[in-house]
Structure 1
Amino acid sequence: MKINHLCYLLLLLALVGSLQFPHPLWMWLLSVNLLTFLVYGADKLAACKGWQRVPEITLLLFGVVGGWIGGMLAQQLFRHKTQKQPFVTRFIFSVVLNLLAILAAGYWFYGRMVV
């Protein structure tokens, strides 16, 4: 199994698992951030050992779906992907994209109730 497929499988399991809790959104955010942190750590280890790496698009997707806090912490703790400027720019874009999605969802679900 490719490492990329494993990452997406773990993401799917986190989604299914978070739906089993009374507060699925909070559980999703906790699990996706923890998973993102672990995937960044695994990618740093793979980079040091010369193993198969996690594609950058997968790392960025984890940020888009809510794992950007775990990604930021892992970048600083592991000193991983902090010097590669194209990745840093794309990572910031993924954070902004996630925040815009949260704001749009908040407006869609809660802002329309008030009007």
Structure 2
Amino acid sequence: MRDQGRLIQWVEDEQSGLIQPNDSSKQPVYLSLKDFAKRGPRPIVGCALDYQVRIDEKGRFRASDVMYLTAKQSTAHQRTHLYRAAKQQNTSSSRLAPSTIAIIIYWIVILVLNSMGQLPNIWFSILFMAQIVIYFLSKPLVQHPVWSLSPRSIFIFVFSVFGGWPILVLMQNKLRLNTQSQPFKTLYIGTIALNILCTLWIVGATYPF
């Protein structure tokens, strides 16, 4: 997918920098000199760029096939983006994302089971506290979206098994967190499945059918 934005940081020694997309809700995109489609003037902070967005091996949003934009091209794109953003906001504000609906249903089931005494209070408390922990673990990654297998990711996996995964899904929807890089995505989905299986096992052990 192609996008446009402006260069907000450039480190000459490293020949790399960051692009802020025109859509301010999107995360900065990493850029290096070799990512330009063809040779041209040295990048200057504030210049308008058109680029292809991809996710590199470190889990970062990275630009490729980068081209400079004229002032006229940049202005025209911003007008188009503002129109599309306003239209999308009006549409999305009237409906919930499928993942959000699934989380609401998940928590309704958890609350019902707990109120009926079929889910122990200790497990209910663990499910709730794990989300608070994951929130604080994930919040720094809004500005620095690196989802490789790091110590922080290991803690996220652990607390996801104990019920913290819903808050990360919501943060992904609202704050555009990137959780699609591999192998993070596969392992994260596995922790969600494991948490649900653990909850079902606890319910069955507490209240055999």
Does TM, normalized by the shorter one, top 0.5?
yes
Q: 1:83 aligns with which of 170, 175, 180?
A: 180
- Residue 43 of structure 1 is matched in structure 2 by 141
* In 2: Cα distance, 1:77 partner to 1:63 partner: 19
Show the 5 A alignment for 1:69-108: 69-108=166-205
Larger strand proportion, structure 1 or 2? 2
Normalising by structure 2, we get a TM-score of: 0.36
Q: Shift in Å at residue 24 of structure 1?
A: 4.4
Q: CA RMSD in A?
A: 2.2
The 3 A distance-change label for structure 1 pair 55 and 35 is closer
Q: Contact (CA 8 Å) 2:128, 2:163: kept in 1 or not? A: no
User: Do residues 57 (structure 1) and 157 (structure 2) align?
Assistant: no
Contact residue 32 and residue 67 of structure 1 kept, 8 A = yes
Which deviates more from structure 2 when the two are superposed, residues 29-38 or residues 93-102? 29-38
The equivalent position to 1:33 in structure 2, one of 131, 139, 143, is: 131
Runs (4+) of structure 1 exceeding 3 A deviation are: 23-28
1-structure distance, mates of 2:204, 2:158: 23
How many residues in Structure 1 have an aligned counterpart in Structure 2?
Answer: 85
TM-aligned CA deviation for residue 102 of structure 1: 0.5
- Structure 2 unpaired stretches of 5+: 1-120
> Could you tell me the TM-score, scaled by structure 1's length?
0.60
> For residues 55 and 72 of structure 1, do their structure 2 counterparts lie closer, same or farther at Cα, with a shift above 3 Å needed?
same
Between Structure 1 and Structure 2, which shows a larger proportion of helix residues? 1
Q: 2:126 touches 2:162 (CA, 8 Å); kept in 1? A: no
The equivalent residue for 2:85 is: none
Q: Contact conserved, 2:157 with 2:188, CA < 8 A, in 1?
A: yes
User: In structure 1, what is the Cα distance between the partners aligned to 2:169 and 2:126?
Assistant: 17
* Same amino acid, percent of matched pairs: 26
Q: Which has the higher contact order (CA 8 A, sep 6+)?
A: 1
Distance (whole Å) between structure 1 residues aligned to residue 172 and residue 151 of structure 2: 14
